[in-house]
Amino acid sequence: MHEQTVSIHGMTCADCALHVETALKTLPEVVAVDVAYPQGVAHVRSTQPLRLEQLNATLPKNYRVAAGPSAQHTFAAQPSMLNQTLDTLDSFFKPRDGAGTKPTGSAPRLHIAVIGSGGAAMAGAIRAAERGARVTVIERGTVGGTCVNTGCVPSKIMIRAAHVAHARRYSPFDDGISASAPAIRRDLLLAQQQARVEALRQAKYERILDENPAITLLHGEARFMDNHTLRVRLVEGGERTLTFDRCLIAVGARPSVPPIPGLTGTPYWTSTDALAADTIPPRLLVIGAAVVAAELGQAYARLGSAVTLIARSELFSRKDPAIGSAIGKVFADERIRVLRETRIRSVRHENGEFILDTTAGELRGDALLVATGRTSNGDTLELAKAGVHVAKNGAIDIDAHLRTSTPHIYAAGDCTDQPQFVYVAAAAGTRAAINMTGGETTLDLRTMPRVVFTEPQIATVGLSEAEAHRKGIETDSRTLSLDNVPRALANFDTRGFIKLVIDAASGKLLGVQAVAEGAGELIQTAAIALRARMTATELADQLFPYLTMVEGLKLAAQTFSKDVKQLSCCAG
């Protein structure tokens, strides 16, 4: 192992030190880099000597390497500016009895505890380690959290399998391509699904934790003892007391269960159970009428169940009414029964059958899926001992910088009141890590896209008309039916619409709602347009490739000034 110390010219702040460290670490020969901004030097440990030309070639142009002092410095004795800055910041949050500090004479290194190992936790742990912190990740169950194990990944695999089953049974091209009822082997589909889940978990979670020397994984259940100490009950037995300088709570959420008389004690399903079931029930009852209920209800219907959705009000009652109406028509065509404005009085389970007493009459089914939302797992952590406040719904209160009511404890993801999407959780975890390690950043959700993976898909971004009106904004809007979109016509599938909402005064785009095949793909273009504060006219003037569904955005924008029915196929 070779060590050398070189002078760095061009650094003007602590962030410069970070940029230099990051650049030098890209060299394959480099094992470790520590940049000391006040001294203007970098200590480089490498597998072989490095020439100044090599070092300069990897640095941004505003920094330059020159020969420096003797290379006999040790890395521990030369803390980077990042850790010096963090050590100064830490003086504002002194641990009880000096917890988390190092003995005099050794280089201080920030210790961050991350509770959880899902999207927010992993993003936070990785970024904190990149920024020089020592990280301990604590996971009480399966590494990877909800998304990869029991949420996004398995559900989308099941939904895709159901799509294939449906297409073999029915398509708009049945006159020319003979249809046939497929044989459904749910046990084999489940094995395929779980194999992909396990492969992704290993590649994207377990391997990364194993290979990062700055991150330690503890398998156990964490609870706060005070605002700088965790007690971890280890899965392997015994307990460990863990002190930390900063903490990120990223424990996710679990399915919530409504207090319906008789429900407790019955073998009802949550979404987790529905995704792991190895058989298709002949009759499936679903309590709920939003994302999980609609996605899994349609999937099970396409795989062979007779499905009944029980809605307290309407399908997707919190979205633009046109969305629930469009999906309701699709469900009716697929013989999915939707009971609207229906209350459940009680649930019984007798002789292998669920019996529901409802305001729409008695309902019977072989399986019952409860899909009525999710609740924070923060209630398992004894948050009060750390001074962490929660809202009435159990979600952890956080500010714009992801801080809880205890300033050195942060939270991100589904355990907070943030929208429950893994990409939001990951973005929040990253920003929390930056803030915990001396940075200052926030998470802007104003142009956050949302997607529901029914078929056709539902996708939204920005404000609906109703949301804009509640903010006192006068709007104009246009709704384009898909029989005006060439891609939909070529697909012989014109179910759905694309709706644009604009500010009536300025013409700037406020929001987009879409029900369409591939709506989840086109909505990102809408999000970028919204982020760029484009007007409908500017969006209409953009080039969109012909015979793509995203071209519908351009056509919808054109309807503010033109009758698109009078345009040629690819009129600019």
- For the beta carbon of residue 169, count every other beta carbon within 10 angstroms: 14
Residues 448-480 have pLDDT tens digits of: 999 999 999 999 999 999 999 999 999 999 999
Q: Is the pLDDT reported for residue 532 higher than 70?
A: yes
pLDDT at 104: 37
Rounded distance between C-alpha atoms, residue 483 and residue 496, angstroms: 9
Which residues is 309 bridged to in the sheet? 286, 338
Confidence grade of residue 38 (pLDDT, cut at 50, 70, 90): low
Residue 283 covered by a domain: yes
Q: Is the pLDDT reported for residue 87 higher than 60?
A: no
Residue ending a domain, among 372, 393, 411, is 372
Same domain, 220 and 283: no
- Which two tokens mark 497? 């619409």
Q: What is the DSSP string of 286-341?
A: EE--SHHHHHHHHHHHHHT-EEEEE-SS-TTTTS-HHHHHHHHHHHHHTT-EEE-S
Residue 101 covered by a domain: no
Q: Is the pLDDT reported for residue 277 higher than 50?
A: yes
Same domain, 341 and 230: no
Question: Which of 94-103, 121-130, 150-159, 206-215 bottoms out in mean pLDDT, i.e. has the lowest?
Answer: 94-103
Task: For residue 195, report the phi and psi dihedrals to the nearest 5 degrees.
Answer: -65, -40
Confidence grade of residue 96 (pLDDT, cut at 50, 70, 90): very low
Residues 406-457 have pLDDT tens digits of: 999 999 999 999 999 999 999 999 999 999 999 999 999 999 999 999 999 9
Q: What percent of the chain has pLDDT over 70?
A: 91
Same domain, 249 and 317: no
Residue 572 covered by a domain: no
Provide the sign of the torsion angle of the four alpha carbons 528, 531, 536, 538, taken in this order.
negative
Q: Is the pLDDT reported for residue 366 higher than 60?
A: yes
Q: What percent of the chain has pLDDT over 90?
A: 79
Same domain, 162 and 20: no
Cβ contacts of 419 within 8 Å, gap of 6 or more: 445, 448, 450
- Which two tokens mark 441? 């950043």
Same domain, 215 and 286: no
Rounded distance between C-alpha atoms, residue 531 and residue 553, angstroms: 15
Minimal CA–CA distance to 191: which of 254, 278, 106, 115? 278
Residue 127 covered by a domain: yes
Confidence grade of residue 69 (pLDDT, cut at 50, 70, 90): low
Same domain, 515 and 552: yes
- For the beta carbon of residue 470, count every other beta carbon within 10 angstroms: 10
Same domain, 384 and 252: yes
Residue ending a domain, among 316, 351, 372, is 372
pLDDT at 11: 78
Give me the long-range contacts of 472-478 (CB less than 8 A, separation at least 24): 473/503, 473/510, 474/503, 474/504, 474/505, 475/501, 475/502, 475/503, 475/504, 475/510, 476/501, 476/502, 476/503, 476/504, 476/560, 477/501, 477/502, 478/556, 478/559, 478/560
Structural domain for 517, as ranges? 450-566
Residue 182 covered by a domain: yes
Confidence grade of residue 525 (pLDDT, cut at 50, 70, 90): very high
Same domain, 66 and 27: yes
How many domains does the structure of the chain reveal? 4
Average model confidence (pLDDT) across the chain: 91
Same domain, 204 and 87: yes
pLDDT at 14: 62
Confidence grade of residue 15 (pLDDT, cut at 50, 70, 90): low
Same domain, 190 and 86: yes
Same domain, 90 and 201: yes
Residues 487-511 have pLDDT tens digits of: 999 999 999 999 999 999 999 999 9
Same domain, 67 and 88: no
Rounded distance between C-alpha atoms, residue 403 and residue 247, angstroms: 10
Residue ending a domain, among 445, 470, 494, is 445
Check if the beta carbon of residue 162 is closer than 8 Å to that of residue 303.
yes
Rounded distance between C-alpha atoms, residue 516 and residue 551, angstroms: 12
CATH number of the CATH domain containing 456: 3.30.390.30
Rounded distance between C-alpha atoms, residue 260 and residue 7, angstroms: 70
Rounded distance between C-alpha atoms, residue 164 and residue 250, angstroms: 36
